């Protein structure tokens, strides 16, 4: 199996087991701040890439945004739809939407599974589906450079992880737009990984 097939198998199984809980307070905080920013700029059309079972997608919809979630795992999308969310199965390398469909994008903990050698490919696809000057909220785990299956890796289907140091991650993002905000959060898990949250504005 390839990396995407492994990820699909893992998250399909997770969705069927129904083990994903609600998002933590950190996620709620950055989501609330991004909502405030979108409202100030009158942005209404949002895509949630790597949406999982749609926890953020549903929250954005409840706040009045025209939101669609996209996830690699069809079982996640099916679960999202049973909860009233609008979702579509797809890869962040080939999103099933026309150019400039959305004026904002949200993707949390998705790039932790994107190999460094496919980062630019993924970012070009995200930028393709948003309008010029759009806002991209991007969160991922990092704080150090690492690629592979970590020491706490599971039996197959396993998950590949890709992390970058804060300086490297900032530099990678800045190749695709203006970095308007960047912050990090201390580790909350045994892995010791930190969370990186950025708001990137595409070229106008």
**Is the predicted pLDDT of residue 59 greater than 60, yes or no?**
yes
* Kind plus residue range of the DSSP H or E element containing 201: strand 194-201
Could you give the angle at the alpha carbon of 113 between the alpha carbons of 49 and 106, nearest 5°?
20
Residue 153: pLDDT band (50, 70, 90) is low
**Which pLDDT score, from 0 to 100, does residue 157 have?**
58
State the pLDDT confidence band at 21, using cuts at 50, 70 and 90. Answer: confident
Residues spanned by the domain of 149 = 3-201
Domain count, the chain: 1
pLDDT for 154: 56
pLDDT at 13 over 80: yes
CATH of the domain at 170: 3.40.50.150
Query: What percent of the chain has pLDDT above 90?
Result: 79
Please report the beta strands in 12-163, taking only residues with DSSP state E, as ranges in sequence order.
45-49, 66-71, 87-89, 102-108, 130-142, 146-148, 161-163
Identify which of 167, 172, 82, 87 has the alpha carbon closest to the alpha carbon of residue 95.
87
Calpha distance 170→91 (Å, rounded): 23
Mean of pLDDT values over 148-176: 85
Residue 191 has pLDDT above 80, yes or no: yes
Asked which of 32-46, 56-70, 181-195 is least confident by mean pLDDT, the reply is 181-195
Please, which pLDDT band fits residue 119 given cuts at 50, 70 and 90? very high
Confidence at residue 1, expressed as pLDDT on a 0 to 100 scale: 52
Q: Model's pTM, two decimal places?
A: 0.94
């Amino acid at each position: 199996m390839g990396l995407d097939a492994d990820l699909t198998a893992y998250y399909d199984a997770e969705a069927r087991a129904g083990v994903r809980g609600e998002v933590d307070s950190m996620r709620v905080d950055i989501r609330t701040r991004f909502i405030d920013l979108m409202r100030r700029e009158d942005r209404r059309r949002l895509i949630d890439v790597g949406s999982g079972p749609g926890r953020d997608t549903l929250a954005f919809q409840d706040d009045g945004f025209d939101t669609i979630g996209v996830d690699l795992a069809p079982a996640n999308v099916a679960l999202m739809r049973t909860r009233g969310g609008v979702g579509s199965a797809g890869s962040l390398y080939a999103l099933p939407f026309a150019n400039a469909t959305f004026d904002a994008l949200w993707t949390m903990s998705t790039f932790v599974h994107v190999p460094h050698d496919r980062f630019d490919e993924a970012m070009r696809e995200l930028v393709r589906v948003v309008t010029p000057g759009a806002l991209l909220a991007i969160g991922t785990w990092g704080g150090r450079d690492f690629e592979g299956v970590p020491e706490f890796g599971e039996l197959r289907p396993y998950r590949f992880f890709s992390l970058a140091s804060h300086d490297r991650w900032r530099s990678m993002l800045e190749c695709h737009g203006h970095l308007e905000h960047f912050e990090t959060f201390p580790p909350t898990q045994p892995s010791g990984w930190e969370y990186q949250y950025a708001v990137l504005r595409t070229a106008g």
